[in-house]
Amino acid sequence: DGGITQSPKYLFRKEGQNVTLSCEQNLNHDAMYWYRQDPGQGLRLIYYSQIVNDFQKGDIAEGYSVSREKKESFPLTVTSAQKNPTAFYLCASSPQGAGAYEQYFGPGTRLTVT
Contact call for residue 105 and another protein (CB under 8 A) = yes
Q: ω into residue 8 within 30 of 0, thus cis? A: yes
Beta carbon of residue 4, minimum distance to another protein (angstroms, whole number): 9
**1, 14, 42, 114: which one contacts another protein (CB under 8 A)?**
42
Q: Which stretch binds another protein (CB under 8 A): 16-24, 60-68, 71-79, 99-107?
A: 99-107
Contact call for residue 41 and another protein (CB under 8 A) = yes
Beta carbon of residue 42, minimum distance to another protein (angstroms, whole number): 4
Q: Which residues contact 35 (CB under 8 A, 6 or more apart)?
A: 43, 44, 45, 46, 58, 89, 90, 91, 92
Q: Do 66 and 75 meet the contact criterion of CB atoms below 8 Å apart?
A: yes
Q: CA separation (Å) from 14 to 9, 79, 85, 113?
A: 17, 12, 11, 5
Contact call for residue 48 and another protein (CB under 8 A) = yes
**11, 27, 43, 52: which one contacts another protein (CB under 8 A)?**
43
